[in-house]
Structure 1
């Protein structure tokens, strides 16, 4: 299988993934078997093609997390982080920290997750990488929301929303508004 063929298959993810409003907007799937098939395809491609290791490990790690197997995600996401550090690529490092933080959150390690979200945000600020600051804040907010730290979560979402409005990306704005609505509803109960 070629990488381009694999990437074409990834378009199905939009139909298989959703944010569960009954579980703090955790990313979930409607079809674990299809995600596992994509994981198998990605692993096969990875064994044949080392030049796209970062990309494929990121996909595999994220999909294992969504399949609620965060322990399996760790090796792949650590590999992404290692690659980013060797390459000295700050953008890849930030993305890797956020992805690894999410896997830690799904593995019931929220404090470690928060540490990584904070590191990612700090790296965004220190290196003027605005592209991912909203993601670091959004994921930090969701983690705080799960911990019941609702006021701080709301501050993260509000800050993330401002950044996303500057990007003018409707789907990102929508997801942050949904998070704000949820945290405000939780705050009222």
Structure 2
């Protein structure tokens, strides 16, 4: 109704393209709302109230915006239209944010994102986008970046260039704020920007969702990927028959299931949870640094971090990306549990893009893969029906400090 009269300012807030025209447009909608006869379709009332509220918000009339958007949300809830509840909750969250009430905004964004995930997956990217911009304004830049990257992945899958551009603009804004927040002389800025730009480029040129596209995609990205992976400190290696104690693998699988159930969070399309005592016992019992060093030739310290990862739903996948440098120079992903249906024609696999194409690693429980996550594009293909995968990922730092340098890395293509 008023979309053509609204744009975004440098801070990514909605503002009028022409204030006078937007004022006139809002006035016309107010006249339309007042002219509705008694007993009019509540959906019409809800829609008019929503757009009047959005327009008033863009004009800076906070009290009016909150009144009309709350009316629209109440009508959506009363009718049981959960799709409208999600959309209007995001608008009302924006209105509270613009008015400076971050607590009310937070509750609305969280509620909208939760409802979208459970009932309207087609709206998850919108909820992530609004929540990411809210977190950006709160100064929670890591969380903002995570939400926006997930939104970008979903929007690339949709193929809507306008939505992709909107999220890329928000990500660029977050990256700029992260750069400004970096301490003077810090060298963290370059790796963070670099990895994010490579991930954006990769996801706009290929996808782990559709293995059938790989042969078609690869010729267009071959040169860029070869230039990137020439800097790998660890080449991907699928390690089978490692002498890991089975009881420790089982204990971690049980701990992961509990952690994911009670405190798991969705990040970049996969479920994550913090590791606990079982993982610490495993790392203390098994010389993982020796496993990585012997299999790759890169001398590393014992793991400095770890996280449980799970893929639990049919079709769930992880699109191609490169990790932030802070996770380490080497990664080890160990499979704790891989349930699969014998009837499924394919199974999900960890997949890498290298100089010669795509390589998939189907990990069974107790098997692992080591690679350089900061430089090697990697992801996971979609789960088949009846499939569930639980993993643990460890990060290692190279003993040679020179191996940690981000100098001389190739810039992401435009």
Scaled by the length of structure 2, the TM-score of the pair is: 0.41
| Aligned-pair Cα RMSD in Å | 1.2
2:21 to 34, 38, 42: 34
Q: CA deviation at 1:162?
A: 1.0
Q: Which moved more, 1:73-82 or 1:24-33?
A: 24-33
Q: Structure 2: how far apart are the matches of 1:139 and 1:125?
A: 14
Q: Tell me if 1:85 matches 2:74.
A: no
- Mapped to 2, the partners of 1:88 and 1:155 lie a distance apart of 31
1:122 aligns with 2:127: no
Pairing partner for 1:186 from 166, 177, 191:
177
Q: Does residue 60 of structure 1 match 2:47?
A: no
The Cα of 1:112 is off from its aligned counterpart by 1.6
Establish whether residue 139 from structure 1 lines up as the match of residue 126 from structure 2: no
Task: Report the CA distance between 1:159 and its aligned residue.
Answer: 0.7
**Gapped runs of 5+ residues in structure 1?**
1-6
Alignment partners' CA distance in 2, 1:181 and 1:154: 10
Deviations along 1:20-52, one digit per CA (max 9) or x if unpaired, are 12xx21111132221111111101111122421
Structure label with greater radius of gyration? 2
Provide the secondary structure at the position in 1 that maps to 2:7.
strand
The equivalent of 1:175 in structure 2 is 166
Q: Give 3-state SS (helix, strand or coil) of 2:60's partner.
A: coil
After TM superposition, the structure 1 stretch with the greater mean CA deviation from structure 2, 87-96 or 41-50, is: 41-50
Residue-by-residue CA offset, 1:123-174 (whole Å, 9 max, x unaligned): 01122x0121111111111111111111110001001111111211110100
SS of 1:38's partner is helix
Partner of 2:305: none
Q: Structure 2: 5+ residue runs without aligned partners?
A: 181-414
Dislocated runs of 4+, deviation >3 Å: none
TM-score (norm 1): 0.88
Shift of 1:18: 1.9
The one of 8, 11, 20 equivalent to 1:19 is: 8
The C-alpha deviation readout for 1:36-84, integer Å capped at 9, x for no partner, is 1111110111112242101111110000000011211111111111111
**Residue 145 of structure 2 corresponds to which residue in structure 1?**
154
Q: In structure 2, the residue corresponding to 1:25 is in which secondary structure?
A: coil
Select the structure that is richer in strand.
Answer: 2
2 CA distance for matches of 1:173 and 1:115?
26
